[in-house]
Chains A and B, each alone.
Chain A
């Protein structure tokens, strides 16, 4: 009979208490999701790997500071997100890896290209054209399935900000993916309410 699987919190506590294997088990349990968030945030595998490494070193050392107010996965994701944002800031200072510079426009040939491609690849490509704030919010809420409240905790912003970033990101994606091509009438006239915070 095998021992019952330890919870995330138990593993983290065991690590803080000196269990040499507990942290490894915790990382193995969650590394796929952490990797997905890092890669979708940074869009560059090497940067994502570096960010994940930075985050794991931070988490390893700071395990004793974890408080059970949030889930361990939320805590880990927040550390990864912080590591990714650090790298985004550095890229802005010294852009060694250029981000895609295409805007959210919708040229016809682009629509055609998207139409020819596998949907998942098209969605991934469109995601890459969003700003990092919108992309991170959408990654957490729409892809990883976190609640708005958890995503807000991971990103360190208000829930309304997460909602707003998701909304504007989805709108851009709808345009980029060509989902609005066949509308009966041209676009919008009613001015919207004042826009909420868009940047970080």
Chain B
């Protein structure tokens, strides 16, 4: 039923006018509100304001993609092009457009077994500029996105914090990895793939970059539980971090981290010696913090977070 506008008829709510404007209202509701708007200067102003909002939105300039992000994506694409199994086109891959309200990430490579993912790529993807950029950006927690997008270009300072204790590694045996590959086998295989930096020490360290670490992250803690990883020994996957005091001190020095890691691995990351600390939150979502190899060497030497991978 259509109601004619009356001189003292109350105004529709703003949301109702916006619904009319967007075509949400139908039938009698639409007719009633439209009839009111047709004879009401105030509501006409509201409709004009909504038009103005749309015009403002249309006129927004596209945010320029930062050069560091372009570099990172180019590196990713180059890496995907050269990587074998885990990131190759996969006709059986789950549909990434399907809604996935429970899984933390639709990327199918997150379920790739450690051994397969470990073969994925050499260590050339890591974009240290992007890492530095991320570190800088984390310092600007109070800055809005627009301001941060500008400021991050200049921000290059590393996240650092003091390590409270030092320590050294001990001795022990290796453990088996996922898919039947032992830690040493996997390490040796990855070391063969690593081209940029020669192996500095024995045993050879597994080499990761952002792509490969992201791929194996869901399985790392399971494949290398801390109870075994941190067994002291020259071939311990945790290396010197097998020392509990050193490991704890280093973990506590990571900003925003207060819990104990599920696992720790001594690795090469982007060609650099580093440790990967894996934490798992209450929802079961793992996060890997990649820290420099000086973490915990001495109380006065700060730890450097090279990357955070989720």
Contacts and interface: CB of A to CB of B under 8 A. Distances in A.
Interface of A: 15-16, 18, 20-21, 23-24, 27, 31-33, 35-36, 39-40, 43-46, 49-50, 52-65, 75, 78-79, 82-83, 86, 89-90, 93-94, 96-98, 100, 119-121, 123-125, 128, 138, 142-143, 145, 156, 160, 163-164, 166-168, 170-171, 173-175, 177, 179-180, 182-185, 187-193, 195-196
B10 A93 contact: no
Interface residues of B, number: 89
Contacts of A94: 281-283, 285
Contacts of A53: 72-73, 76, 210
A90 to B, nearest CB: 6
Nearest to B14: A171
A163 B22 CA distance: 6
B16 A193 contact: yes
Contact of A45 (B53, B59, B152): B152
28 contacts: A24-B81, A39-B63, A43-B145, A45-B152, A52-B69, A53-B73, A56-B77, A57-B76, A57-B80, A62-B108, A64-B89, A65-B93, A82-B106, A93-B283, A120-B61, A125-B144, A128-B145, A164-B24, A167-B18, A167-B19, A170-B54, A174-B14, A174-B52, A179-B52, A188-B10, A188-B13, A188-B14, A193-B19
A51 B100 CA distance: 15
Contacts of B152: 45
Interface stretch (B41-49, B176-184, B230-238, B262-270): B41-49
Interface in B171-205: none
B250 interface: no
A83 B137 contact: no
Per DSSP, are chain A's interface residues mostly helix, strand or loop, or mixed? helix
B96 A44 contact: no
Given A15-B89, A171-B14, A179-B49, 14 more contacts: A31-B70, A46-B137, A58-B108, A59-B96, A61-B109, A82-B98, A83-B106, A120-B61, A167-B19, A167-B24, A180-B14, A189-B11, A190-B11, A192-B15
Interface string B77-119: 1001100000111110111111111011111110000000000
Contacts, number: 254
Contacts of B54: 142, 170
Contact of A190 (B16, B101, B109): B16
Interface string B105-136: 11111000000000000000000001001100
A33 B88 CA distance: 24
Given A58-B106, A125-B144, A173-B53, A79 B96 contact: yes
A170 B62 contact: no
Contacts of B81: 20-21, 23-24
A93 B281 contact: yes
A40 B159 CA distance: 26
Of A23, A86, A93, A174, most buried by chain B (CB within 10 Å of CB) is A174
B105 A83 contact: yes
B12 A192 contact: yes
A148 to B, nearest CB: 8
Interface of B: 9-19, 21-25, 29, 33, 36, 41-42, 45-46, 49-50, 52-54, 56-66, 69-70, 72-73, 76-77, 80-81, 87-91, 93-101, 103-109, 130, 133-134, 137-138, 141, 144-146, 148-149, 152, 210-211, 214, 256, 281-283, 285, 310
A190 B13 contact: yes
Nearest to B36: A190
Nearest to A45: B149
B157 to A, nearest CB: 15
Contacts of B100: 82, 86
Contacts of B50: 170-171, 174
A35 to B, nearest CB: 4
Contacts of A82: 96-100, 106
B42 A138 contact: no
B10 A190 contact: yes
A187 B18 contact: no
A57 B210 CA distance: 12
A163 B23 contact: yes
